[in-house]
Amino acid sequence: MTIPTESIQTTTETPSNKHLANSLHRQMIAIIDFGSQYSELIARRIRETQVYSEVLSYRTSAEQLSKLSPAGIILSGGPNSVYDEYAPQCDPEIWHLGIPILGVCYGMQLMVKQLGGVVERAKRGEYGKASMYIDDPTDLLTNVEDGSTMWMSHGDSCTQLPEGFSVLAHTDNTACAAISNHTKKLFGVQFHPEVIHSVGGIALIRNFVYHICECEPTWTTEAFVEESIREIRAKVGDKRVLLALSGGVDSSTLAFLLHRAIGDKLTCMFIDQGFMRKGEPERLMDIFDKQFHIPVEYVNARDRFLVQMEGVTDPEVKRRRIGHEFIQVFEEESQRLGPFDYLAQGTLYPDVIESADTNVDPKTGERVAVKIKSHHNVGGLPENLRFKLVEPLRKLFKDEVRKVARSIGLPEEIVRRHPFPGPGLAIRIIGEVTSERLNILRDADFVVRDEISKQGMYHDFWQAFAVLLPIRSVGVMGDKRTYAHPVVLRFITSEDGMTADWAKVPYDLLETISNRIVNEVKGVNRVVYDITSKPPGTIEWE
């Protein structure tokens, strides 16, 4: 769980400071990002080959890259044309580092332009699937089948290649679909090998990583755990660490990892704000405290958070108030349990990529920890609480966290738990959040989870939950008219949560859930099903 960001200052390292790469992954692939929507996906594809990868800004200099000593460099795609006045450029010195480079779409065009070739507006753009015909099946295209479908998305084309380059493949509309300078190990592809639509794309990536960059598959879950434990012990020493536990896979994995590394020097705090699903707080305490003997300080703050929701209907106001109150409670309880030198956070690599804050502590050079302002300074509390951060998961993507979780013994119910928003049920109740409405939604949500689990379908969905609407509709129950709430069912499928589709749930399952909710949940007389994809909708209703 990451602490709410309101009133908090955090920072992120850049290549000029201590970077993510360490002794565990001396071999790594650097991905230079030019604003592509697929840069993160490229990094994930590299890691699927068990080789470490990092996404860096296109502003990263050749000198900074040289210090990182990557085994290879990938230049991402991007929305610009390389001949635009303000198009992002890479440091031209990278071509002289002697490191293998693969340019993807915009990255290939930039390679061509900076090395003396010509890129022009294509007479005919190429978008979507296209058959690729191989002219040179060596190096990059080894074992890639001739005629393979590749995913294109470009309106520009390379009309003249730089000296020393040759064509590896073409399509009906693109003469230079793949190019190379074999001598300098410079390669370019006009398509996106990282997307699932590109048949043979993974084989191409593996060729670049293993054959061209000569990497070894050392980025494994077991190696990560061992190295992380060593790093945590070296950093923390005999100091104390505080972790805000949410019950999600990120904070739970972090808790298990830290406990294995530093034992009782870790203090886990679970703040129950009253917006969890039915039985979850009790189950969380049972798993950690009783089953795995990891002590958790339970803080019952339900009444405090409910007071903050009185009269609030705007979802953004809900989020702000919940975040603000969380900080208040966290501040008070950390003072009671402390002092602590370190705060552990479940920051993941996508958070690092998206962060634009690059300040570090000018004295230590370390990433500065959380600063929490005291809004009600009572009992001699200090003006600020300040910690250093421990973020062992900040190198990982979500799927990698799940692998780590399994390897260190987390129960499957946590590993594969559906994503759950930080504000919890408060944003699944449309309108004002009251104790009565929370109880209605908890009971309806329990029916949903119980039935899909019974049917063995829990893991068929990215998320499956209920939403309570702030209206009432007429119904008939036991020959009497009712005037009660409708409940919306939201079942979606997705790979990463960025886009999603509504799930085509069997009618008999929907019927069973509907009957149970109407019969078992007091205050509900109607159940409806949301068939909106993302986009245009969102997964959550608020």
Number of CB atoms found within 10 A of residue 226's CB: 12
* Contact partners, residue 536, CB within 8 Å, separation at least 6: none
Number of CB atoms found within 10 A of residue 499's CB: 12
Nearest to 394 by CA among 429, 444, 344: 344
Q: Which residue reads 């339900």 in tokens?
A: 302
Between CA 527 and CA 542 the distance in angstroms is: 19
- Amino acid sitting at position 1: M
What are 304's two structure tokens? Answer: 């405090």
Which 8-state DSSP code applies to residue 273? -
Between CA 94 and CA 62 the distance in angstroms is: 5
Number of CB atoms found within 10 A of residue 286's CB: 12
Which residues face 52 on adjacent strands? 28
CA distances from 288 to 4, 232, 233, 409, 420 (A): 23, 21, 22, 12, 19
What are 399's two structure tokens? Answer: 């799927």
For 323, list phi and psi in degrees, rounded to 5: -60, -45
Q: Which of 13, 25, 54, 105 is catalytic?
A: 105
Q: How far apart are the first and last CA of the chain?
A: 20
Looking from the CA of 244 toward its CB, the CA atoms found within 13 Å total: 22
Catalytic (active site) residue 105 = yes
Which 8-state DSSP code applies to residue 162? P
Q: Which of 25, 154, 192, 259 is catalytic?
A: 192
Number of CB atoms found within 10 A of residue 478's CB: 5
Q: Which of 194, 331, 391, 400 is catalytic?
A: 194
**H-type alpha helices, 130-186:** none
The residue length of the chain stands at: 542
What are 382's two structure tokens? Answer: 């200090």
Between CA 381 and CA 383 the distance in angstroms is: 7
Active site residues: 105, 192, 194
